[in-house]
Structure 1
Amino acid sequence: MKNVLFTTTALAALAIGGVASAQGISLFGDARLGLGYNINNDGSANGEEDLRAISRVRFGVNMTGETDSGITFGATIRADNARGGQGDDTNGMSAGNVFVSGSWGTLTYGDTNAADEQWVGDIPGNLSLTGLGDLQETFFISNGGSFGTDNANNFASNPFARPTVRYDFDIAGFGISLSSNRDLTDVVVGAGYQADFGGGSFGIGVGYNNYKSFRQTVANGLSVCEDGAGGLTTTCNAGDDVFTIAGADSTSEVPEGEQWSAAVTGDWENFGLGVVWTQADSKSNDFVDGAKFGTIGVGGTFGWDAFTVGAYYVNIYEGSDRLESYDGKSAYGLTAAYDLGGGAQVAGGVARTFGRDELFQGGNLIQRDQDADTVADFGIKMAF
């Protein structure tokens, strides 16, 4: 994997060695305003069951150029992510992306999809104003994905999944991608095929990620219960009142493992449909228990005139060890949008989050239960 990436990078660098021409810089942006129920400004659930004003504005820049030999190159960055685009000494580039492209394919670095996400993607059907937590997004370990907003058990939250290095090549509807993480330890492969069929189109995508162990920072807090003698204990039982004492952040290890994923999508006239499946298995080692999770989701859209409605459903059909509290949990949403023209649309939706059960290991409470939340938003989206 390393040899392929390094060789491709070297060839691209040689190709760009000549004088560049056809350079261009263009601005882009988006904004929104509206109302949110039970959500923070970013669309994530806040559990306060309140109604509040929500708004946001962002802008960025696309940069493109072309060498005398016909190699195109460019970069994209949002202004609010400029610091991450610079890349610090330790973590490297964590926002924006940089690419070179030619007849040999495209090489992309930075905050970009890994090979599996590039071809499998997310469940369709979320047209809401804020995304409402984007619960229809697929949990790709290659993307540092995790379940909900649970900071204590973000099994898949790899802090070094970014920057990503990805190579893409496609021909006649077929495509393949290879990628790795910042440390070039993971091997990620994605492939797919897209074609016209029956007056519409369909696509098939598959992905595989062989990832090495990684350490993540956990926003920690000590969970304690009353011990029956007026004191506190960390040994809690189901039904006990649990108190959290703030504590310093700590690190935990996620053992190496692999993740498979697949998707089937289709569009026919006014209808769009997609089904996405994933299965991940992190192996146990001498120090840490592994964990498995599996997800299946379906979503779709239907449009007529300026209206489009969407819906999605995703189920965590398997969760073991550290993810046991998510086993069997589901999230779903119903959304809609009306195109006003000129890049503006009225959008909104209502969704139900995953929730989770209490998780005990060795008599200790590892994770508190959390009821599923109902969240909603409504307002105007703007694209510039």
Structure 2
Amino acid sequence: MKNILLATTILASVATVASAETGVSISGYGRFGLVYDGSADDVVTTNSTTTIHTRLRFNIDATTETDSGVTFGGRIRMQHSSGSDGADLSAAMLFATYEGLRVEVGNANTAYDSVALMYDPEMGFVDSSFGDPQGNFFAFNSGPNPTADYMGVFASYSMGGFTGRISAIDPDQTTSVGAETEVSVSFDYTSGPFTVALAAVQDGEGIADNDQFFVGAAYAINDAATVGLNYVDEGEVPVVMAHGGDQGRTITLYGNYTMGATTLRAYVADNDYAGNVEDTSFGIGADYDLGGARLSGSIQRGYEDETVADLGVRFDF
């Protein structure tokens, strides 16, 4: 009940302030549809294979600009997804921007998670892909931070087609004992139809020696078609963790083609983690532009030889 009252108060306050044009805005998205997971009905769990999935996300941003042109601001996120008994409220991210420079502190983004091309193989209304990175690393937290004294610092600089980023995430800034500080860097560059991207993370998710590396390239054949290739060294986590040990390497070839209001998507990925049932995953999907929203669906096979599928609608605001 307290969470509901807090959420209502925040949204009512933001709506009032936003109408006064004081630099407070709300953005986000909603999505809903059917999700099928063939692995849910196994001999252990016997869960339903088909469920209705929903998510509503609000990004609440407040900004002010100084006379010298520096913009200061902050963001919190409110989100509810099906399977949760209430909405989550994120920890705050504070930022400053000036021309091409951006600095964030608190619940900051990370350089590794922000690199271009990393998530381009995703498809369906839930935007998923077995070609995504499989390793452990930090990102902006849509809910509370994982620890009370979690602190992140992120900086990026963009000029023309180039963007560079660096970040450091300390799981507990009050002590030097325990989890490691995650440090990551990334770079991407676009020139005409070509985009290239490079990223690395040290001690991903605060796990010692969990170092990961990403390189990607994409080529826009024309206005309708794009192909891309991603490579990820997924790092290594302790064997006592779920899905532990060397996480392997993932290579993903993907592409999309647009015809009118329809975009077709496909990918094939290979991951050599020792615990896989199958090393090869693949997926096909399609989007239909509804004008302000999209109808999306996909069918994918994962590394456990499971079949997953989804069909639903996503709209952004």
TM-score (norm 2): 0.72
1:229-378 matches, within 5 Å, as 254-267=207-220, 268-282=222-236, 291=246, 293-317=248-272, 319=273, 324-326=274-276, 329-341=279-291, 343-355=292-304, 372-378=305-311
- Partners of 2:30 and 2:245 lie apart in 1 by 42
Q: 2:130 aligns with which of 120, 128, 135?
A: 135
Unaligned runs of 5+ in 2: 1-20, 42-46, 81-86, 140-144, 174-180, 239-243
Q: Which residue of 1 aligns with 2:200?
A: 208
Decide whether aligned partners of structure 1 residues 55 and 291 sit closer, same or farther in structure 2, where only a CA change above 3 A counts: closer
CA displacement, residues 228-251 of structure 1 (integer Å, 9 cap, x when unaligned): xxxxxxxxxxxxxxxxxxxxxxxx
Q: Which residue of 2 aligns with 1:33?
A: 32
Determine which structure has more spread, i.e. the larger CA radius of gyration: 1
Decide whether aligned partners of structure 1 residues 169 and 52 sit closer, same or farther in structure 2, where only a CA change above 3 A counts: closer
Decide whether aligned partners of structure 1 residues 312 and 74 sit closer, same or farther in structure 2, where only a CA change above 3 A counts: farther
Q: Contact between 1:316 and 1:327, CA under 8 Å: does it hold in 2?
A: no
Amino acid at match of 2:217: V
Q: Contact between 1:122 and 1:136, CA under 8 Å: does it hold in 2?
A: no
Q: CA deviation at 1:298?
A: 1.8
Decide whether aligned partners of structure 1 residues 29 and 83 sit closer, same or farther in structure 2, where only a CA change above 3 A counts: closer
Give the number of equivalent residue pairs. Answer: 268
Q: Which residue of 2 aligns with 1:179?
A: 167
Decide whether aligned partners of structure 1 residues 125 and 99 sit closer, same or farther in structure 2, where only a CA change above 3 A counts: same
Q: Contact between 1:119 and 1:205, CA under 8 Å: does it hold in 2?
A: yes
Q: CA deviation at 1:84?
A: 4.7
Unaligned runs of 5+ in 1: 1-21, 40-44, 86-92, 145-157, 215-253, 356-371
Q: CA deviation at 1:204?
A: 0.9
Amino acid at match of 2:301: R
Decide whether aligned partners of structure 1 residues 31 and 104 sit closer, same or farther in structure 2, where only a CA change above 3 A counts: closer
RMSD: 3.4
TM-score (norm 1): 0.60
Task: Give secondary structure in 2 for the equivalent of 1:261.
Answer: strand
- Partners of 1:379 and 1:292 lie apart in 2 by 32
Task: Give secondary structure in 2 for the equivalent of 1:117.
Answer: helix
- Partners of 1:291 and 1:312 lie apart in 2 by 24
Task: Give secondary structure in 2 for the equivalent of 1:141.
Answer: coil
Overall identity of the aligned pairs, in %: 24
Task: Give secondary structure in 2 for the equivalent of 1:138.
Answer: coil
Q: Contact between 2:55 and 2:79, CA under 8 Å: does it hold in 1?
A: no
Q: Contact between 1:108 and 1:166, CA under 8 Å: does it hold in 2?
A: yes
Q: Which residue of 2 aligns with 1:46?
A: 40
Decide whether aligned partners of structure 1 residues 27 and 204 sit closer, same or farther in structure 2, where only a CA change above 3 A counts: same
Decide whether aligned partners of structure 1 residues 121 and 111 sit closer, same or farther in structure 2, where only a CA change above 3 A counts: farther
Q: CA deviation at 1:283?
A: 8.9
- Partners of 2:28 and 2:99 lie apart in 1 by 30
